[in-house]
Amino acid sequence: MRFREPQIEMAHGAGGKASRRLVEGLFVPLLSYGSAESLGDAAHVDINGAQIAITTDSFVVKPITFPGGSIGELAINGTMNDLAVSGARGEAMVVTFVLEEGLPTNLLEAEARAMGEAARKADVKIVGGDTKVVEHGKADRMYISTTGIGRPLPGVMIDPHSVRSGDKVILSGPIGDHGITILLARGELDFEAELRSDTRCILPLVEAMVQAAGPGIRWMRDPTRGGVATSLNELARDCRLGINLLEESVPMRDAVRGACELLGLDPLHIANEGQFLAVVAPEYVDVALNALHMVEGGQDAKIIGDVREQPAGSVLVTTGYGGSRIVDMLVGDPLPRIC
Amino acid sequence: MRFVDEFRDPEIIHRTAEELKRQVDPTRHYRFMEVCGGHTHAIYRFGLKDVLPSNIELIHGPGCPVCVLPMGRIDDGLSMAKDRQVVFAAFGDMMRVPGTTGSPLEHKARGADVRIVYSPSDALKLARTNPDKQVMFFAIGFETTAPSTALTLMRARAEGIKNFSVFCNHVTIIPAIRAILDSPDMRLDAFIGPGHVSTVIGCRPYEWIALHERKPVVVSGFEPLDMLQSILMILRQLNAGEARIENQYKRVVPWEGNSAALKAMAEVFQLRPYFEWRGLGFISQSALKIRDEYAEWDAEHRFHIPGIRVTDPKAAQCGEVLKGVLKPAQCKLFGCECTPEHPVGALMVSTEGSCAAYYNYEHRKAMVMNIAPAA
């Protein structure tokens, strides 16, 4: 369907429904880069017989630094994670800086250092970049854009169409830490919580799981903007099956749960920067979980639901006491500029 | 988490649901109105209809502040934001509510300085930190939020903050309930009383409903167990042939209300002779106005307000839905022209609006599961 909205609003960048409309209704037809159904976090292309995974991302988070991370670290990890959940290991990256005139050098230096450290830790090379400066007031301090290429991990094929009824949904750890941390870091709310962003490179977790259960892994996604609900809705739409979650089984810290209760937010819509979702065939689910539990930072991985024929194309959340509700993609933008 | 987990305990909820089944008369159809939008949201959010006996029908009441605000007031508020020196500050709920020329968010995209605040005191903070701007807080809400607006105005006056004002759209719940009961096409058996409003006004203001209308009112909390217990308390009253005011939400609601909050409201506000409600029309003495002593901080004094009156889009039946006469899905626009992403009426915007709650949780569930929508 053509994109007919008269102007761009914050929601078009929020990763939810409006973003999808913009991409499918304007970018895909005009840039014609494949069908909308194959719009994953990274693309796999064949260049003279060599399989290359490629992705691009940009970072406009406000504030630039926050408990647990900063824009520079986020840029490296976010790009590595997009490649990882497409089933690839990031090998090289180029980065672009858009800087606001007047930006203190020490701030830029700190972010460059954070990027260097994150890249070393993730074992990815930064091989090039570009710098642009805009007038004071025309950007908010700094934006970073990254493009990463990677090599597909052997023994795994990520394809939403391969998902079958009976498959299990695995989540790598507690949700909502990043989104709520950013919200609190802005200092606009008069409450505090012991909370840090979960930003990290998830490649070691993905690699361990792929090694142990590769043939059983059907689909992966890092639930960033729009949260777990948006990622799973996209999957449900692509595979035309129903994703059923048990509400109580979705791991989350009390601080996140409390903040969401107070603010009327659904934790399933809150962004994460260091978690991933995987759909795994039932016969592989135990080995996949065991593999994750053996890796540092994978101890909290668990099954949060399963795939069924119904409700086709949607995500149904059931509570322990027998109530149920459909959870849609994120509509609107409750927390702008979180990454 | 305390105060949450124990009210979502599956075992206690199952036991309460069983007791509910024992108390209902299967030959009877019950119609209870949940006055408060927070309850409407909770009913759908927690999937309570899956747990309730099918002959208990819950009717959504007028207690959603965003929903009852006529479009003209939104236009009035946004007319002030045309001045680029003005910061339009409001709760997040307001941001996507359509006015004639678009929602506050659409105005923001066109360059208006629109900010989301979480409390009126945050808006006052904006005024302190932006002394070159005029910060206008678009105040909405029932007695739940009115005291914090009042306290903020008292502080603005005490500190002599000149670049702050309030566009007051506060309304009061009792006249709305009276209007609903006066509506001839409305048959109700009882009310689930609003929990948050009652923390301020207490339980006494509902006594006439039991006394003169012979209908039970149970003031309820917002967790699944709260709501089931409240419905159980209503059933017990009906079975005993009683009509009383009961307080299920005792852990929060004092019977006499919050006198400090009421005092602050009385200090700052007076009743407007009448006020227009979406769907319910003009209701006398149903809204609050800022007293003359605080006129300097009253946006209706500071700015020229056009006093726009607009009728709702013709096909939209927000009024009927607000009164509980129509179910959300019975409106002609529901789900086609009017969706949470492209709302025509405010009921489709707020998480407390019955249309948005119904659309998000119930209507899609019915659609995707190929079952008839719940009544």
- CA–CA separation, A88 vs A31, rounded Å? 24
CA distance A26 to chain B (A): 18
User: Given an 8 Å threshold on Cβ–Cβ distance, is A189 in contact with B118?
Assistant: yes
SS3 label, residue A320: coil
pLDDT digits (tens, 9 = 90+) for B118-163: 899 999 999 999 999 999 999 999 999 999 999 999 999 999 999 9
Q: Are strands A277-280 and A217-221 parallel, antiparallel or unpaired?
A: antiparallel
Q: Does position A182 have pLDDT exceeding 70, yes or no? A: yes
Look at residue A33 in the predicted model and tell me its pLDDT: 59
Among A97-101, A257-261, B235-239, B268-272, name the one with the lowest average pLDDT. A257-261
Most B CBs within 10 Å, among A233, A326, A333, A337, to test the B interface: A326
Q: What is the ipTM of this complex?
A: 0.81
B→A interface, C-beta within 8 Å? 1, 4, 8-10, 13-14, 17, 44-48, 50-51, 92, 95-96, 105-106, 109-110, 117-119, 122, 224, 340-341, 351, 360-361, 364-365, 368-369
- Cis upstream peptide for A311 (omega within 30°): yes
Select the more confidently predicted residue: A149 or B1: A149
Look at residue B25 in the predicted model and tell me its pLDDT: 94
Strands (E), B228-355: 245-247, 269-271, 274-277, 281-284, 288-290
CB pairs under 8 A between A and B: 91
Cβ of residue A325 closer than 8 Å to a chain B Cβ: yes
Q: What is the mean pLDDT of chain A?
A: 93
- Please say whether the beta carbons of B343 and B349 come within 8 A: yes
Look at residue A34 in the predicted model and tell me its pLDDT: 56
Q: Please, what is the angle between helix A203-213 and helix A71-85, to 10°?
A: 10
To 5 degrees, how large is the angle CA A173–CA A176–CA A182? 130
SS3 label, residue B198: helix
To 5 degrees, how large is the angle CA B147–CA B148–CA B152? 115
Which residues of B are less than 8 Å from A310 in CB distance? Answer: 368-369
- CA–CA separation, A28 vs A38, rounded Å? 11
Name the amino acid, one letter, at A186: R
Look at residue B375 in the predicted model and tell me its pLDDT: 41
Q: Does position A35 have pLDDT exceeding 60, yes or no? A: no
- Domains along chain B? 67-173+257-302 (3.40.50.11740)
Among A222-226, A287-291, A329-333, name the one with the lowest average pLDDT. A329-333
Strands (E), A205-301: 217-221, 242-246, 277-280
Q: Which residues of chain B have pLDDT under 70?
A: 364, 367-375
Residue A38: pLDDT band with limits 50, 70, 90: low
Look at residue B374 in the predicted model and tell me its pLDDT: 47
User: Given an 8 Å threshold on Cβ–Cβ distance, is B368 in contact with A9?
Assistant: no
- CA–CA separation, A223 vs A198, rounded Å? 12
Look at residue B373 in the predicted model and tell me its pLDDT: 47
Phi and psi at residue B29, to the nearest 5°: -105, 125
Cβ of residue A326 closer than 8 Å to a chain B Cβ: yes
pTM of the model: 0.88
User: Given an 8 Å threshold on Cβ–Cβ distance, is B13 in contact with A189?
Assistant: no
User: Given an 8 Å threshold on Cβ–Cβ distance, is B47 in contact with A7?
Assistant: no
Q: Which of A17, A319, A328 sits opposite B46 (nearest CB)?
A: A319
Name the amino acid, one letter, at B107: H
- Domains along chain A? 1-39 (no CATH), 40-152 (3.30.1330.10), 160-327 (3.90.650.10)
Mean pLDDT highest for which of A20-29, A205-214, B306-315? A205-214
pLDDT digits (tens, 9 = 90+) for A307-321: 999 899 999 999 888
